[in-house]
Amino acid sequence: MQTSVSIQAKKQYLQWFISHYTVNIKEVNWFFEELLEDERALFYLHFVQQIEDCPKGIIISTQTMDDLSFKFFKGSVETSDVYTAYHELNLYHEEKFYIKVNFPHKHYHPLYRAVLEEETLLLEKDKIYAENLLQHLLVQSKKNCFIREIDKALDSLDPEKFYFYSKQLEKYH
């Protein structure tokens, strides 16, 4: 998977999909045709496999799949109305818009794999988690170091070092 996909690759994939698959809702083809004409929208459109954590997007499934044919969501609001998704994409044209497409054997098709992007939201969450974990470990390490120095000060009966390291440790509680 890539982190940035060209508009041309997205167009090629959408054209291929339109010519090879049908969706139970005829407006989906219209939606894809409109996307093909709108490079600005294609720039903000991201094809992903895991869409659950995305703030807004659509899920499209072909007739051969048992899944719902079309679902647009934004936060907790969901609809099967294609026009709502279209208007959302055009009204908020500079916001990322995620799409998950379900069709048979999708993982084997090179055009599909070419447009898949790493789930940037998941990567951002992982980065935040890693930063928080690192910060926690650094604080714990400093606390443990101060505790060792306090113990040394007690063992050597050094009240100045004991007081100094105790004050340092208090900053982390």
* 91 and 77 within one domain: yes
In a domain, 19, yes or no: yes
What confidence tier does 1 reach under pLDDT thresholds 50, 70, 90? very low
User: What range defines the domain where residue 112 resides?
Assistant: 7-118
* 94 and 45 within one domain: yes
Is 173 exposed, middle or buried, given 0-12, 13-18 or 19+ CB atoms closer than 10 A? Answer: exposed
pLDDT in tens, 60-85: 988 666 667 899 999 889 998 999 99
**Residue burial 19-29, b: 16+ Cβ < 10 Å; e: rest:** eebebebeebe
Look up tokens 């690192």; give the residue.
Answer: 134
* 16 and 95 within one domain: yes
Q: Do the beta carbons of residue 13 and residue 65 sit within 8 Å?
A: no
What confidence tier does 25 reach under pLDDT thresholds 50, 70, 90? confident
Q: Which residue has the higher pLDDT, 53 or 101?
A: 101
* 148 and 87 within one domain: no
What one-character DSSP code corresponds to residue 73? E
What one-character DSSP code corresponds to residue 25? S
pTM: 0.65
In a domain, 17, yes or no: yes
In a domain, 1, yes or no: no
* 138 and 86 within one domain: no
* 80 and 136 within one domain: no
Total domains present in the chain: 2
